[in-house]
A = this chain, B = another copy of it.
Amino acid sequence: MPPHPSADLDTVLGKAVTILRAFTVDDQVLPLAELVRRTELPKATVHRVAGDLVTNRLLDRTDLGYRLSGGLFELGMRASVERSLMELAMPFLQDLYERTHETVHLGVREGHDVVYVAKIGGHRQAKSPSRPGGRMPVHCTAIGKILLAFSDAEVQQELLSSPLERRTPHTIVAPGLLERQLATALETGVAFEREESAVGLQCVAAPVLGDGERALAAISITGPVGRFKPEAFVTPVRAAAQGLSSLVSRRRSLSR
């Protein structure tokens, strides 16, 4: 199963991004053989293209294999939407963290997934599976649910009619239940998650609205089941999200 079916393998470019996307957030360095396995490209081809990627400074070579280079990091940070969002959001995330000292996330929706744009946490933060630049399914996260609630009806329906992967015993896999949660989320302006993506974690999320009722992004607070009562954080999350909203909606060009 190729990781990203959309890439065109008949072009160098397609092969190149296939190789780049073979790296996951958890991989530090991948040897040639592993790249061959994941991409399912001929060994000679991977060898050559990876070499080209190195000369173009998108990959680094180490004696253990290849890894995504700093140049790629730079490039990625220039992606206008995510970067602007992050820059504008930082002070708000900041405040939120300072007030609560719980893990704070900023995320956007990309297809059926949430992509985390920023994450702030302390030294002994609840160990959540999320990472900046990483993905999680929309249906099992607070951020995902609030983003979905404030999306066009058609994308909401599209997602509800596709199978909902089970992550924990608490993951909501019944479309009907999820749909009802989305409805209340749309009314109340917040969404919750209770151990649906990872056991022991709970979240609250609020939407960052552009013009109209569509969410451009969302902010969430995460904490461990014991001390952390999500309801107690509704107000500060909402405040942060609204503050950011009013800043963002002034700027055009964040449309996505």
Interface residue A250 (Cβ < 8 Å from any Cβ of B): no
- Which of A39-47, A75-83, A199-207 is the contact stretch? A75-83
Interface residue A145 (Cβ < 8 Å from any Cβ of B): no
Please tell me if the beta carbons of A21 and B133 are within 8 angstroms of each other in the complex: no
Say yes or no: A13-B80 contact (C-beta < 8 A), given A94-B97, A108-B70.
no
Q: How many residues of A contact B (CB 8 A)?
A: 70
Residues of B within 8 A of A82 (CB): 70, 73
Alpha-carbon distance A27/B239, docked complex (angstroms): 30
Residues of B within 8 A of A73 (CB): 76-77, 79, 81-83, 115, 117, 133
- Which of A52-60, A158-166, A189-197, A224-232 is the contact stretch? A52-60
Residues of B within 8 A of A56 (CB): 6-8, 13-14, 17
Binding site for B on A (CB under 8 A): 4, 6-8, 11-14, 16-17, 20-21, 23-25, 27-29, 49, 52-53, 55-58, 62, 64, 67-70, 72-84, 86-87, 90-91, 94-95, 97-98, 108, 110, 115, 117, 119-123, 125, 131-135, 253, 255-256
